Structure 1
Amino acid sequence: MAEILVEPIEGYALSKNKKKGTTLFSKIGVVGCGKEGQSIARIASWHGLEVVFLELSDSKIEMALANIGKELDNRIENWGLTPAEKKAIMSRIKGTVDYKDLADCDFVIEAIRSDDMTGARSIDARKEVFRKIESIVREDTIIATNSTTIIITELASEMKKPERCISLHFFVTSPEARIIEVVKGLYTSEEAYSKVCTFVKLINRDVIPVEESAGLISVRLFVTLLNEACQVLMEGIASLNDIDKTMNVGLGMRFGPFRTADIIGLSKIMKWMDNLYEEFGNSKYKPSPLIKRLVRAKHLGVRTGEGFYKYDENGKVISE
């Protein structure tokens, strides 16, 4: 009989605690549990990791857990997830309002919402989050941002151990997309980068290595597409529905540019564009007047019930 080779799972651990003699790639922290944070928490827990997320209040914690539960209910109805599996996933997710509860995490991801931030580029708010995380966690804990337009080198520049800081991007519009953009900053060590790539593989995603640049790949390409779609609409070349349908059916996008923008949130997209314009000075990144008009009217997309389209309470497009 052939010998059965057993490869120890410890080799895939993010880090090891020599005092305990156990692998520690078992718990991650998420700071901010809005739409992005909820997606990160759900995906990590789905793949067996313990998750603790930090929010500003108990009411926000309850809302985040309720939203994650609703998303899993959708998986039960349409994806074959069982109620028992949902219960197991939810049992691995805990909310807190205290940074101290992040102390034993191996990996902490900052994912604060744009609505919670101040300043044109939100860099100061994120730096403060990074400093608070660093004051609590172990020296080998990796600290990441899920921001796409903030440069990780700038964000980590005032940290005591900037070599453990990195940037990665989960795709909110398609949370089951099997890719994550990963950015190594000027200070990021090869060890930290390698561990984050291991994390990405453990949650069944492929690493898209990206050189440090505001907007990464996804945001830079999407905002220019959206601006051009707005221009086509304003010129009367085609209707909003037909522009989306052309990109959806004709070019294989999961959603057209307008529907995608509503899912992401127009205020967030406008912040992306402002950041990119400040970074590169290229007018192609300046928000279209149509986007500005919708944001001023508080028509921000699915979250507010109206953006380019109108939506019901379940986030479904209301046909005119």
Structure 2
Amino acid sequence: MKNIAVIGAGTMGNGIAHTFAQFGYKTHLIDISEKSLEKGMGTISKNLDRMVAKEKISEEDKKDTLNNITTYTQLSEGVKGVDLVVEAATENVELKLSIFKQLDEMCSKDTVLASNTSSISITKIASVVSNPERVIGMHFMNPVPVMKLVEIIRGYNTSDEITNAIMELSRKLKKEPVEVNDYPGFVANRILMPMINESIETLYNGVAGVQEIDTVMKLGMAHPMGPLQLADFIGLDVCLSILEVMYNGFKNPKYAPCPLLVNMVQAGKLGVKSGEGFYDYSESRKAEKVSGQFSS
């Protein structure tokens, strides 16, 4: 596999494109919004600048990485001639089914079709494709260029050949692939999301405040980031979507989203992406922090 297409220029999509391009793959980054593509490329450039500053890569490496990425707003153009498509669109079942129906028509029958979904059934996604054995899950972790894990999810019909090829490709990206079977939430989110949801329930019930809950988990359980801060980082809307997928898939009340999470998403408090979640990420708050560093 030499030519890769990534669908979606958001947080996960631009991170996936960055990673493939950094390892020498010709990468097509596709999004219907030119503005999203510009923002995504800007994020990639900034992340590469950080790597240069830390002397992890050279300026020449940065230039080569950016040169390996071509942007497209037309799906048909972006997937032309590629060996692998990685879909990283919004975590919405109907949207993903629509994209894979189009990919089935637009791509060669030999093109591997992967989804970066964090919870939606690969088997269901593959059901709209004429040869479902070539459909697989590649669940990267955020931030993609840094995090080593890739959950490789086998759908009911995913072939051994495709699974082995994607496992090997992940290793070439200096990742650690872990093969899992296709059940709601897979492994990572089946374990993580109930913990995040229970943390929100703990806050909702008035047991402790945001910082107190996160401090207990960081200092007591050696978590690098508290669950409420992590939820902000993931996106509260994404957390809600994953919990709903698991709740509907297992019909088990332990996966039911906390009412506080539902209300926060409805109010538009989505975490880092919206500027406010359990913590305040607004520009005014950043300014307060900066000014506080210079005051005694």
Q: TM-score, normalised by structure 1?
A: 0.85
- 1:227 aligned counterpart, secondary structure: helix
Deviation sequence 1:185-222 (CA, Å, 0-9, x none): 11111111111111111101111111111101111111
Deviation at 1:301, TM superposition (A): 0.4
Query: In the alignment, does 2:94 pair up with 1:124?
Result: yes
Given candidates 160, 178, 196, the residue that maps to 1:226 is 196
Q: 2:111 is matched with which residue?
A: 141
Q: Which segments of 5 or more consecutive residues in structure 2 lack a partner in the other structure?
A: none
Mapping of residues 65-80 of structure 1, within 5 Å: 65-78=41-54, 80=56
- 2:72 aligns to what? 96
Cα distance in 2 for partners of 1:316, 1:154 equals: 43
Greater helix content? 2
Match of 2:27 among 48, 51, 55: 51
**CA-CA distance at 1:279 after TM superposition:** 0.6
The answer to whether the 8 Å contact 1:311/1:318 transfers is no
Specify the alignment match of 1:203 in structure 2: 173
Q: 2:275 aligns with which of 294, 301, 305?
A: 305
Distance 2:204 2:177 in 1: 38
* Alignment-derived partner of residue 37 in structure 1: 13
Q: Which residue of the partner structure matches residue 205 of structure 2? A: 235
Between 39-48 and 127-136, the greater mean CA deviation after superposition: 127-136
SS in 1 for 2:28: strand
1:155 aligns with 2:125: yes
Quote the Cα distance in structure 2 between the aligned partners of 1:32 and 1:151. Answer: 19
Greater shift, 304-313 or 70-79, is seen at 70-79
The answer to whether the 8 Å contact 1:302/1:315 transfers is no
Give the C-alpha shift of residue 318 in structure 1.
7.0
Q: Equivalent residue of 1:272, what SS?
A: helix
Aligned residue type for 2:103:
I
State the shift of 1:86 in Å. Answer: 1.3
Q: Which moved more, 1:68-77 or 1:297-306?
A: 68-77
Preserved CA contact (<8 Å) 2:9 2:40: yes
**Aligned residue among 180, 188, 197 for 2:158:** 188
How many residues end up aligned between the 2 structures? 289
Q: Give the conservation status (yes or no) of the 8 Å contact 2:18–2:145.
A: no
C-alpha change, 1:48 and 1:294, in structure 2 (3 Å) is same
**Whole-angstrom distance in 2 between the partners of 1:251 and 1:64:** 34
Native 8 Å contact 1:100 1:136 kept in 2: no
Q: Tell me the distance in 1 between the aligned counterparts of 2:104 and 2:257.
A: 35
1:291 aligns with 2:261: yes
Identity within the alignment, %: 29
> Pick from 120, 131, 135: which aligns with 1:165?
135
The answer to which of 127-136 and 173-182 deviates more is 173-182
Change (3 A) 1:88 1:316: farther
For the structure 1 residues 248 and 272, does the alpha-carbon distance in structure 2 shift closer, same or farther, using more than 3 Å as the test?
Answer: same
Partner SS state of residue 76, structure 1? helix
How far residue 111 of structure 1 moved from its aligned partner, in angstroms, is: 0.8
How far the C-alpha of 1:65 sits from its partner, in A, is: 0.7
Choose from 87, 94, 114 the match for 1:110: 87
Q: Is the 8 A contact 2:9 2:30 kept in 1?
A: yes
Which amino acid in the other structure matches residue 96 of structure 1?
Y
Other-structure match for 1:84: 60
Matched, 1:270 2:246: no
Structure 1 pair 62/246, CA: closer, same or farther in 2 (3 Å)? same
Provide the rounded CA distance (Å) in 2 between the counterparts of 1:91 and 1:174. 19
State TM-score, norm by structure 2: 0.91
Q: Distance in 2 between matches of 1:221 and 1:33?
A: 27
CA change 1:236–1:127 in 2 (3 A) is closer
Helix, strand or coil: the match of 1:228? helix
Give the whole-Å Cα distance in 1 for the aligned partners of 2:209 and 2:57: 38
* CA distance 1:236–1:74, change in 2 (3 Å): same
- Displacement of 1:175: 4.7
CA gap of 1:210–1:171, structure 2 versus 1, over 3 A, is same
Secondary structure at the residue paired with 1:210?
A: strand
2:108 & 2:190 partners in 1: Cα distance? 35
Distance 1:175 1:270, change over 3 A: farther
Aligned to 2:230: 260
| 1:64 paired residue among 40, 57, 70 | 40
* C-alpha separation in 1, matches of 2:239 and 2:94: 19
Closer, same or farther in 2 for the Cα pair 1:276/1:175, shift >3 Å? Answer: farther
1:107–1:143 Cα contact (<8 Å) kept:
yes
RMSD of aligned C-alpha atoms? 2.1
